[in-house]
Structures are given as C-alpha cells and as structure tokens.
Amino acid sequence: MTKTQGSEPAEVYALGIDSGESARLTRQSEELRPEAEALLTRIGLRPGQAAMDLGCGPAGILELLAAAVAPAGRVVGLDANPAHIEMAEAGARESGLAGVELIAGDARRTGLPSGSFDLVHARTLLVTVPNPAEVLAEMVRLTKPGGWVASQEPDCEHAVCYPPLPAWDRMRELFFGSFGRSGADPCVGRRLAGMYADARLSDIGVAVHAGAYTVGHSRRSVMPDLVRSLRPAIIDLGLAGQRELIELDREVRQHLADPRTVMMPHLLFSVWGRKPGPS
C-alpha cells in the first residue's frame, strides 16, 4: 500500500531524477546486496520486529528486511520520488513480500510516530542531501529505545583507476564540481561515526568496503553512470558541454572494458549504532 506522508518537498536530489538514475538505483540493490546482508547480520534483526528503509528508492533493501522480520514483522520503505515508490511497490508484489508498506515522503520529516522501529536504515541517502545530520536525527527519532540506526554511505575521495586515464580524472573533476551544488557531501562516509556519536547513539560500529569490480560487473561503471545522471547539472553549471561529456563517457567506458584496468570507484562505509534505552 502506498501513502503520501508530509507536505513539504525534500531537497533537490543531488543526482537528479530520471529513468536512467532509477535504473542505476535498481541495479545498486543487487550490486550492494552482500554489504547489506553483512550489516543486517551484525545488527541481528529478528522475526516479528519492525524495520524501515529510509530513502529506499525503487528497491533498496526491502527484500532483505522483509526476509529478516518474517513472518509477522513490519517493513516500511519511504522515498521522496513517487515514481520510485511505485516501482518498489511493484517489486514487492512480484516478489510476494508480506508486511511491506511504501510511503512517498520527506526523509527529514516523515510524520511517522516516534519510536516505531527496531531498525531504521538508509543507504546512499545522506550523501545526497545538504544537511545529513537532519536526516539522521529523524532516523534516531523513529527508532525504538534499544533499537538500531544503520547507514551505508560512500566516500568518493578514494578511488583507483589503473592504468591512469586523463578522461577518468576529468570525469571525476566534473562529478565533484556538480554533485555538491546543493551542499551534498560526496565524502560523507568518513563522517558517519562522528555524526552517530553526536546523535548520542551507543555501540557504534564501522566497516569499510573497498570493492574492485571486474569487467561485466555493473558497479565497474558507477562513475560514468553517475556523471550521466548529472549531465543536466554539469551543463547548466557551465562545467562542460554535451560534446565533451559524450567523448569522456566513450573514453572511460572503453578503458573500463579492458580487463587489465583495475577499478575501485569509491569506499563504502557501513555504520551502525544503538539508541539508548531498554531493548
């Protein structure tokens, strides 16, 4: 069932909203599944509990959460893009997921009751908003005392493309120049543990994943895919023209098609913490 929660629109999504970006987020659900499974194993979500995927996009980790809390648990997914909620709802129906509710709303002000969930999770959400602490505060508010808050966010400063390629360096320059136009921080991953401590969470844990992807893995092309999503912003900001963007895309993808090229697009930080109080 889909609901609309709250009346204020969310901040502009740093990567734009189009069918290409929706497709990338759908792929991401499978690409980052192992990291999400490892995170849920650490937290120990149990059958019958309630979990939320904040900023779930078209799929998020809804399937993993539904499996963890089945048969009598509750899962809520919330996203600011109604098209993503429709896609997530269709996916839940196709997969036969029980106890999943989808809501279109603002991650900063969900309007849901405080202390509703044993786990509130967000992946690649805090990286896209100008004031991630505001979203984290809402995550903490929604969590039951003794429950868990968990995030999976990238840190894009550290990447490996070897052998070096000037077109890759230029593409990264355009990414950083356009992604942060609304105040979003592409290196927010490293800040999470400190943000969790500032939010007065306890039992904070951190795991860092450095994925190096081989030819044929869709995560290998995440940087050119992101820059494709950012093309309108890059052009509007006057950072590059359409012709240069097309040529950069061609050169980088050709380089990545070579199995001798090593590609680690970014680090991924998984961070979890417990809200004080009895569990």
Quick one: which of 267, 33, 5, 34 has its CA closest to 155? 267
Q: Considering the domain boundaries, does residue 187 fall inside one?
A: yes
Average pLDDT over residues 111-125: 97
Residue at 236: amino acid letter: D
Q: Considering the domain boundaries, does residue 125 fall inside one?
A: yes
Mean pLDDT across the chain: 91
Please determine, for residue 16, whether its predicted confidence score (pLDDT) is greater than 60.
no
Please determine, for residue 193, whether its predicted confidence score (pLDDT) is greater than 80.
yes
Q: Considering the domain boundaries, does residue 109 fall inside one?
A: yes
The H or E element spanning position 162 is strand 160-162
30 versus 76: the higher-pLDDT residue is: 76
> What pLDDT shows up at residue 6?
44
Answer for the pair 222, 253: CB distance below 8 angstroms, yes or no. Answer: no
Residue at 97: amino acid letter: L
Percent of the chain residues topping a pLDDT of 90: 77
Average pLDDT over residues 9-13: 42
| Least confident segment among 22-36, 40-54, 92-106 | 22-36
Please determine, for residue 145, whether its predicted confidence score (pLDDT) is greater than 80.
yes
Q: Considering the domain boundaries, does residue 252 fall inside one?
A: yes
Please determine, for residue 233, whether its predicted confidence score (pLDDT) is greater than 60.
yes
Rounded CA Rg of the chain: 19
> What pLDDT shows up at residue 95?
86
Rounded-to-5 percentages of helix, strand, coil across the chain: 45, 25, 35
Q: Considering the domain boundaries, does residue 279 fall inside one?
A: no
Answer for the pair 103, 20: CB distance below 8 angstroms, yes or no. Answer: no
Average pLDDT over residues 54-64: 93
- We report the CATH number of the domain holding residue 197 as 3.40.50.150
160: domain range? 2-274
> What pLDDT shows up at residue 132?
96
Compute the half-sphere exposure of residue 135: CA atoms within 13 Å on the CB side of its CA.
Answer: 29
Q: Considering the domain boundaries, does residue 224 fall inside one?
A: yes
Please state the domain count of the chain: 1
Average pLDDT over residues 123-136: 94
